[in-house]
Amino acid sequence: MRLAAANGQALALGLSPGMTLADARARAPDIRVVVHRPEADAALLKRVLLDFGRFTPMAATDGPDGLALDITGCAHLFGGEDGLVRAVAARAQGVGLAVRLAMAGTPEAARALARFGRGGIHEGEGQSQALRRLPVAALELSDKETQALSRAGLKTLAHLADRPTAPIAARFGAAAATRLNRVLGREDARIRPERPVPLISVDRILVEPITETADVEAVIGDLLIEAMDRLDLRGQGGRAFQVGFFRLDGEVRHITVRTGRPSRDAAAVLRLFRERLAALARPLDPGFGFDQLRLSVPVADRLASRQRGFEPTPPGAEDLGRLVDRLTARLGPEAVSRFEPVASHWPERAVHLSPAALPAREEATWPGPDPADPPLRPLQMFDPPQPVLATAEVPDHPPNRFIWRRVDHRLIRVEGPERIAPEWWRTLKRPLEPTRDYYRVEDQEGRRFWLFRSGFYGEEPAPRWFVHGVFA
Amino acid sequence: MRPDRDIDALRERLKAMETDGCPTDDARFDLGHAEVDRDLGGLATHALHEIYAATTPDATAALGFALGLVQRAAGDRPVVWGVQAMAGLETGQIHGPGLREMGLDPGRVVLVRVKETKDLLATGEEALACGAVGAVLLTAWGESKVLSLTATRRLSMAAGQGRATAILTRLAAQPQPSAAETRWRVRGALSRALEADAPGHPTYAVELLRHRLGAQPNAWTMEWDRERGVFEQGGRNAEHQQSQRPALPGGLVSPAADGSSAARGGAVRRFG
């Protein structure tokens, strides 16, 4: 058994990761040892990452024990870079982590300075001086290559930095040369953040944590106004809006609302959030309060800036979209739907209900009925069809009565059959559902039904009768 | 470029610009049924109308009658249809192609399916008040304390505010006091048979139970004419009238089939 990690005190005693447990015990008999659980570490790191999302939306894990934050354009929110570093350190200490922070021009440089240097904020000349002092191990090449570098007398990055890169690439591979360039800040690579970076993201850091719904809504309202201005500049409207609620104790919750068409209407989107917050299955729990709210716009579409008052907006279309959005936010996307025709003669499949908040398919058309015909498809349909007991004078003849839900329906008008065969090309299911013979029937009370017989007489299984729908 | 489409688009815009295109508050719509329109003078457009299914199996007839009113009242404007889940389970789900067969383009309908009566009412109020829809059809299942006098008053106020028609269909419930402008009870009625004794067009036995402006309770048999979008005299009476018409040459066309096409204003529609 070997040590996987050691804290500051252990390191001071001369223990280091990689040492065998027996050796370690020999040096320091009374050390406390816990079993290394990488998955628990990873889970903790993930939570910290989520929480550190409060500092920047561009955050990613860096190895099993590090986080990389791209803080471009974020520092002013925390009173400059010093303030940001202090805030990050305080947050980390708050959850009991020992951290070393480094801020530099590229992610690799920051990583090298944090892991092989003393950390701190570096920029410009100071940054390259600090980097030059780092050992070649800071390039994190393989052990063999690091050794080879030392043997060649190249101990620090300064030794390498002053040489042309081509021979290094020839001797240690292109990867080593790239690594050197990145660590020295000659080449920049963006970090890959955990969540996709939204187009627009607006933050509000709250000095005093808030718990009241009214306060939360007020903050969201402010953020929305800010975000809408930025969308306006881009000539876009948001299709989805997400609010991140950062709780004082590190819990983070994201809530998203979507709109059917691009929107820049702060009031309308705020209403959506209100409804969404009111209808959450797991209500938003402020705990000791939220200390930061972030509004981001992950999806946006082109929306021309509109000049008001010149051209009358056509009434209806836009308002209907808003109504659909509000109802969807309250009742869920499945509850608010639109009928879409499907080119299929199998009755169950002839229509599809799709969420009304999604854009409609343009090409869809409904087959028009023949003007002289009465309705040939029922207004209401049962899914699945309801079994009934039906009798006909002679097998294969139209039915003359049927019993359904314990009521005897005597049929006085019958039309049919309309034979509908299953769509064998659509299904791999064998055997196929039997062919259906449909009848339009009217009973003595003036109720009109759509009955069908499934299967044929004289075949196995014996035919069965169903009521599939009711005509108006 | 398609010039006819452009012209249509221009017409649409002109229509939108014309302020007198907006219905005034004492707006009324008629049913197209001569006798009913004479008796009632049309129904208030921006108000609540209630339709009860006489028995549970008459649910589809009640919805069919309601759809007729919706089409008379809403014209080409969008329709929101709120349905309580229980109604769908008991009497069948609304079938898109069936809507088309009743004359209402399913593309104009936003279907909202809810579990609770309170959600149904909230949906109705919101949709009515938003001003974007022509009519809101609500289908409630069973007796409910939530559907109180106050709740129906709120619906009719929302209808006035949003200039839309509210139609509340109640299935498996007994008529009770409400703020509705009119209250109806509907059951299915025998249709005029088509050729070879086939079931005919949608036909309803409609009772007017209450009218706020004081029209007397009455009952009619109405047949829905999808092509013209009107209610007509229907059922047995109509059949009786038809039998008095001069006999038709040849036995191929049944009187009913001919009668309906004649009543429908004939050939233009057929090929239209």
Backbone angles phi, psi at A450, to 5 degrees: -115, 105
User: Sign of the CA dihedral A123, A128, A129, A132?
Assistant: positive
pLDDT tens, residue by residue, B184-199? 999 999 999 888 889 9
Give the domain ranges of chain A: 8-183, 200-327, 380-471
- For range B117-124, the mean pLDDT: 94
Q: Are A119 and A29 in contact (CB under 8 A)?
A: no
| Cβ partners under 8 Å of residue B59, min gap 6 | A380, A470, B53, B87, B90, B91, B171, B172
A29 reaches B (C-beta below 8 A): no
CB contacts, 8 Å: A402 with chain B = none
B102 to chain A, closest Cα gap in Å: 7
CB contacts, 8 Å: A326 with chain B = 126
B183 to chain A, closest Cα gap in Å: 19
Whether B2 shows a pLDDT value over 70: the answer reads no
A310 to chain B, closest Cα gap in Å: 12
Name the residue in chain A with its Cα closest to that of B122.
A327
| Cβ partners under 8 Å of residue B74, min gap 6 | B133, B134, B135, B164, B165
The DSSP symbol for A2 reads: B
CB contacts, 8 Å: B111 with chain A = 336-339, 353, 356
Residue ranges of A 166-185 with Cβ closer than 8 A to chain B? none
Give the pLDDT of residue A208. 86
Residue ranges of B 74-133 with Cβ closer than 8 A to chain A? 77-78, 80, 91-102, 105-107, 109-114, 119, 122-123, 126-127, 130-133
From residue A339, how far is each of A351, A353, B104, B106, B233 by CA, in Å?
7, 5, 12, 6, 31
A403 to chain B, closest Cα gap in Å: 13
Q: Determine whether the interchain pair B199/A447 forms a contact, defined as Cβ–Cβ distance below 8 Å.
A: no
Token readout for A273 is 């959030």
Distance CA B35, CA A435 (A): 46
- For range B114-140, the mean pLDDT: 93
Backbone angles phi, psi at B2, to 5 degrees: -120, 110
CB contacts, 8 Å: B199 with chain A = 374, 413-415, 440-442, 448, 471
Residue ranges of A 331-350 with Cβ closer than 8 A to chain B? 331, 334-341, 350
Amino acid present at A276: R
Neighbours of B150 (CB within 10 A): 11
Give the pLDDT of residue A460. 77
* CATH number listed for the domain at residues A200-327: 3.30.1490.100
Pick among A261, A274, A275, A323 to test the B interface (most B CBs inside 10 A) = A323
Least reliable range by pLDDT among B23-32, B99-108, B198-207: B23-32
Give the pLDDT of residue A245. 92
CB contacts, 8 Å: B114 with chain A = 331, 335
A461 reaches B (C-beta below 8 A): no
pLDDT tens, residue by residue, B31-46? 999 999 998 988 999 9
Give the pLDDT of residue B237. 53
Give the pLDDT of residue A314. 45
Give the pLDDT of residue A311. 44
Q: Are A250 and A289 in contact (CB under 8 A)?
A: no
Backbone region of residue B176 per phi and psi (left: phi > 0; alpha: psi in -120 to 50; beta: other values): beta
User: Sign of the CA dihedral A321, A326, A331, A333?
Assistant: positive
B237 reaches A (C-beta below 8 A): no
Pick among B101, B114, B207, B270 to test the A interface (most A CBs inside 10 A) = B101
Distance CA A85, CA A69 (A): 11
Q: What does the pLDDT profile of chain A (472 residues) look like in tens digits?
A: 888 888 888 888 888 888 888 888 888 888 888 888 888 888 888 888 888 888 888 888 888 888 988 888 888 888 888 888 888 988 888 878 888 899 888 888 888 888 888 888 888 788 888 888 888 888 888 888 888 888 888 888 888 888 888 888 888 878 888 888 888 877 777 677 766 677 888 888 888 889 888 889 989 999 998 899 888 888 888 989 999 999 988 888 999 998 888 888 888 899 889 888 888 888 888 888 898 999 999 888 888 765 544 444 445 556 888 899 889 988 988 899 999 988 888 898 888 898 888 877 666 678 888 888 999 999 999 989 999 999 888 888 899 999 999 999 999 999 989 999 888 777 666 667 888 999 999 999 999 999 999 988 888 788 899 999 999 9
pLDDT tens, residue by residue, B213-258? 888 899 999 999 999 999 998 875 554 444 343 344 333 444 444 4
Name the residue in chain B with its Cα closest to that of A398.
B198
Q: Are A223 and A295 in contact (CB under 8 A)?
A: yes
Q: Determine whether the interchain pair B57/A367 forms a contact, defined as Cβ–Cβ distance below 8 Å.
A: no
B66 reaches A (C-beta below 8 A): no
Name the residue in chain B with its Cα closest to that of A357.
B110
Distance CA B255, CA B245 (A): 9
Whether B113 shows a pLDDT value over 80: the answer reads yes
Token readout for A58 is 């561009």
Instruction: Domain B22-271: give its CATH architecture.
Output: 3-Layer(aba) Sandwich (3.40)
The DSSP symbol for B199 reads: -
Q: Are A369 and A357 in contact (CB under 8 A)?
A: no
Give the pLDDT of residue A388. 94
B66 vs B24, which has greater pLDDT?
B66
Half-sphere exposure of A265 toward its Cβ, with a 13 Å CA cutoff?
Answer: 18
Whether B52 shows a pLDDT value over 90: the answer reads yes
Single pTM value for the model = 0.63
CB contacts, 8 Å: A446 with chain B = 61, 187-191, 203, 205, 235
B111 to chain A, closest Cα gap in Å: 5
CB contacts, 8 Å: B205 with chain A = 446
Give the pLDDT of residue A177. 83
Of B171, B215, B178, the C-alpha closest to B28 is: B215
CB contacts, 8 Å: B105 with chain A = 366
Residue B148 buriedness (CB in 10 A; 0-12 / 13-18 / 19+): middle
Give the pLDDT of residue B267. 35
Give the pLDDT of residue B22. 38
Token readout for A70 is 């791209």
Report which secondary-structure segment, H or E, holds A433: none
Backbone region of residue B21 per phi and psi (left: phi > 0; alpha: psi in -120 to 50; beta: other values): alpha
Least reliable range by pLDDT among B79-83, B175-179, B254-258: B254-258
CB contacts, 8 Å: A439 with chain B = none
Give the pLDDT of residue B201. 94
